[in-house]
């Protein structure tokens, strides 16, 4: 913790004017404007749930992280922040898994060191801390399997930068903004998919 001294964490609370209402808008639009059939109905619903939760976790993680950086004697805020960062990893990964594989298959090729691969590896490290500890995937002087550095979230093998987290959340917001209205989303997400996600 003593080596963690700074972080660039943009405020993403107003990245989209409707971000507090994505899910409610989707439900209303699905009732009033267009019927979304299974399994798309379930995928879109759960994508929006996880996207919304990702932003809630980011806001909490950001606030606690900045508190720690301005008041480093409050060690508890660091440990609370880690919990929110780990939850954020889960929600981002699950949101992407719900929406992208249907279009492109796997999110990454193993060994390519993409942000998706590193995100998944960090998520798994957090999710399976018991296995990581058994496998010795921790530093001897650390109690955590995932921790904060000035660059971002780190484990013994991986790093996802704070900039990459912000980029992923921005992409999720763009997708959520389109998906909240199933009647018009096809045209809205076509360009997003081609520009940002097409391999």
Return the pLDDT at 156. Answer: 84
Assign 3-class secondary structure to 126-146: HHCHHHHHHCCCCCCCCCCCC
How far is the C-alpha of 101 from the C-alpha of 109, rounded, in Å?
13
Q: Where are the domains of the chain?
A: 22-31+39-197
Distance of CA 64 to the CA centre of its chain: 17
Q: In Å, how far are 27, 104, 106, 163, 193 from 96, measured between CA atoms? A: 20, 11, 10, 17, 12
- The one-digit pLDDT tens for each residue of the chain (199 residues) are 668 999 999 999 999 999 999 999 999 999 999 999 999 999 999 999 999 999 999 999 999 999 999 987 888 899 999 999 999 999 999 999 998 765 556 777 888 888 999 999 999 988 887 776 777 766 666 678 889 999 999 988 899 999 999 999 999 999 999 999 999 888 888 777 777 665 4
Q: How far apart are the first and last CA of the chain?
A: 37
Return the pLDDT at 73. Answer: 80
Return the pLDDT at 199. Answer: 45
Return the pLDDT at 139. Answer: 62
Return the pLDDT at 78. Answer: 92
Return the pLDDT at 137. Answer: 65
Residues 6+ apart with CB under 8 A from 142: none
Q: What is the DSSP string of the chain?
A: -TT---------TTSSTTTTTHHHHHHHHHHHT-PPPTTHHHHHHHHHHHHHHHHHHHHHHHHHHHHHHH-TT-HHHHHHHHHHHHHHHHHHHHHHHHHSHHHHSSS--TTS--HHHHHHHHHHHHHTHHHHHHTT-S-TT-S-SSEE-SSEEE-SS-EEEHHHHHHHHHHHHHHHHHHT-TTTHHHHHHHHIIIII--
């Amino acid at each position: 913790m003593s080596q963690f001294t700074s972080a660039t964490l943009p405020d993403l609370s107003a990245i989209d004017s409707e971000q507090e209402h994505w899910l409610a808008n989707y439900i209303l639009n699905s009732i009033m404007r267009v019927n979304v059939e299974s399994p798309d109905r379930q995928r879109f619903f759960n994508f929006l749930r996880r996207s919304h939760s990702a932003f809630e976790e980011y806001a909490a993680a950001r606030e606690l992280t900045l508190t720690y950086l301005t008041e480093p004697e409050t060690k508890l805020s660091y440990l609370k922040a880690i919990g929110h960062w780990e939850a954020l990893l889960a929600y981002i990964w699950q949101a992407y898994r719900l929406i992208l594989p249907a279009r492109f298959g796997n999110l990454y090729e193993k060994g390519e060191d993409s942000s998706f691969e590193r995100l998944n590896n960090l998520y798994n490290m957090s999710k399976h801390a018991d296995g990581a500890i058994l496998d010795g995937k921790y530093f001897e002087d650390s109690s955590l399997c995932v921790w904060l550095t000035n660059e971002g979230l780190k484990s013994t093998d991986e790093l996802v930068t704070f900039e990459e987290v912000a980029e992923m959340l921005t992409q999720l917001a763009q997708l959520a903004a389109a998906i909240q209205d199933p009647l018009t989303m096809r045209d809205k997400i076509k360009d997003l998919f081609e520009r940002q996600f097409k391999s």
